[in-house]
Amino acid sequence: MFTSLVAASGSLPYLLFGLLAGALADRGSRKRIMIGCDLLSAAALASVPLSALLAGQASPWHLITVSFLAAVAFVGFDSASHGALLQLVGRRNLVAANSLLIASDTVVRMAAPLLAGVIIAAWGAEWAVAVTALCYFLSALIIGSIRQSFQPERPLLEAIPEGRLRKLGTDIREGLRFIWAEPLIRSLTLLGFGNSFVGGAAAGLLVVFAASELGIADEAPQFGLLLTVGSAGALLASLSLPRLRIRLRPGLITIAGLALSGASLFGFAMSGALPSAAAFYLLWSGASTLIIMNGITLRQQLTPDHLQGRVHAGGRMIAYGGSPFGALLGGLSAASVGVQPTFALLSALMLLLFVIALRTPLRDAAD
């Protein structure tokens, strides 16, 4: 029960505070918000080893609170960081910058479990949390050392109607209106919802599929290999996006990603053996990452600077909101018709999104 509550406390804050965080990020100092959020995460996580030293261990409710606070801090940091990145690298360099960020994040996600396992085996789980807290503190120091401005030029700020005294509700509505009024961003957001719906279902059923269709238990080394292959697909996609954006229009990258995702999911469903399943899972993970990365970058490039936080937060909430629904309905479908047919249905849904995307402005979207 408590494990589920910890997981829920980590995902709930974006739904609760995402729009508010986006509005605050567009109003305030992005740099201060990012530093403050890093320090909040560091303090929350540091309380775990401190509690272990003083009381022997952290209570389950303490861990839930820490998970919630760290997730709240992530919402604020994420909302401010997208506008800050635009100021730091410029619109022309956003593709390369996002590619590097996602690639770095993927490498860290692949290496962190191994490092955490070593720390846990040597000193205990609370010290793995302490190392994570230290990383957040170092991140705050690094961000504070950046001299370049995270804010737009003053003429752009003065062009914002009603200035900085507008009510937050008005700010939030302005961001949502922009998402709906801009055809490309609206298309990316709705297609992103479908992509995250499928991704949530596929991720939720991966253990069941491995056990029932591939004969692999979740604690077996082969399952770890499957997860590693998925991370490798995400890494390859993140490194490939800059070159793809040179050769292809950005809208076509999303459309091609939808087609590849649907085809690879169908191949994964029909694979029946680990080698072929791993190959198709790598393709699906890469395609899904391309869709997400390309959508984030294109949205940043199309959004005025003073709306960056709100449009990112609103778009993320809508697009990623499909994941829990996919996990729920995917589980119900697997219980009703079986795991393999469910994956086949998910592949059909991705191909349907591909057909829909062909009828959106993405088909003709240029840089």
- Within this chain, do residues 279 and 222 fall inside the same structural domain, yes or no? yes
- Assess if residue 19 is contained within a domain: yes
Residue-level pLDDT at 8: 53
* The one-letter amino acid at 129: V
Which domain covers residue 354, as residue numbers? Answer: 172-364
- Assess if residue 120 is contained within a domain: yes
Which of 254, 208, 255, 206 shows the shortest CA–CA distance to 229? 206
Return all residues near 236 (Cβ < 8 A) that are at least 6 apart: 282, 286
**Exposure of 110 by Cβ count < 10 A (0-12 exposed, 13-18 middle, 19+ buried)?**
middle
The one-digit pLDDT tens for each residue of the chain (367 residues) are: 454 455 555 667 777 888 888 888 888 899 999 999 999 999 999 998 888 887 777 777 788 888 889 989 999 999 999 889 988 888 888 899 888 888 888 888 878 777 877 888 888 878 888 999 999 999 999 999 999 888 876 544 334 444 444 577 888 888 899 999 999 999 999 999 999 899 888 888 888 888 888 888 766 677 778 888 888 999 999 999 999 998 888 889 999 999 999 999 999 999 888 889 999 999 999 999 999 999 999 999 899 888 888 998 888 888 877 887 888 888 888 889 988 999 999 999 999 999 999 999 988 765 5
- Within this chain, do residues 97 and 185 fall inside the same structural domain, yes or no? no
Which of 200, 198, 218, 199 shows the shortest CA–CA distance to 208? 218
- Assess if residue 14 is contained within a domain: yes
Residue-level pLDDT at 317: 84
Residue-level pLDDT at 4: 46
Polymer length of the chain: 367
Residue at which a domain ends, from 99, 116, 151: 151
- Within this chain, do residues 283 and 139 fall inside the same structural domain, yes or no? no
- Within this chain, do residues 232 and 354 fall inside the same structural domain, yes or no? yes
- Assess if residue 57 is contained within a domain: yes
Residue-level pLDDT at 80: 92
- Within this chain, do residues 62 and 100 fall inside the same structural domain, yes or no? yes
Q: How far apart are CA 299 and CA 44, in angstroms?
A: 32
Query: Does residue 114 contact residue 60 with C-beta atoms inside 8 Å?
Result: no
Residue-level pLDDT at 161: 47
Q: How far apart are CA 237 and CA 228, in angstroms?
A: 14
Residue-level pLDDT at 194: 93
Query: Does residue 344 contact residue 217 with C-beta atoms inside 8 Å?
Result: no
Residue 149 DSSP class: -
Q: How far apart are CA 267 and CA 263, in angstroms?
A: 6
- Within this chain, do residues 257 and 325 fall inside the same structural domain, yes or no? yes
- Assess if residue 80 is contained within a domain: yes
- Within this chain, do residues 225 and 131 fall inside the same structural domain, yes or no? no
Q: How far apart are CA 306 and CA 157, in angstroms?
A: 7
- Within this chain, do residues 16 and 113 fall inside the same structural domain, yes or no? yes
Residue-level pLDDT at 162: 47
- Within this chain, do residues 188 and 128 fall inside the same structural domain, yes or no? no
Residue at which a domain ends, from 116, 151, 186: 151
- Within this chain, do residues 73 and 203 fall inside the same structural domain, yes or no? no
- Assess if residue 65 is contained within a domain: yes
Domain tally, the chain: 2
Counting Cα atoms < 13 Å in the Cβ hemisphere of 359 gives 4
- Within this chain, do residues 217 and 337 fall inside the same structural domain, yes or no? yes
Residue-level pLDDT at 58: 72
- Assess if residue 7 is contained within a domain: yes
Residue-level pLDDT at 9: 58
Query: Does residue 238 contact residue 286 with C-beta atoms inside 8 Å?
Result: no
- Within this chain, do residues 239 and 359 fall inside the same structural domain, yes or no? yes
Confidence (pTM): 0.81
CATH number of residue 283's parent domain: 1.20.1250.20
Q: How far apart are CA 211 and CA 27, in angstroms?
A: 50
Q: How far apart are CA 289 and CA 241, in angstroms?
A: 10
- Assess if residue 233 is contained within a domain: yes
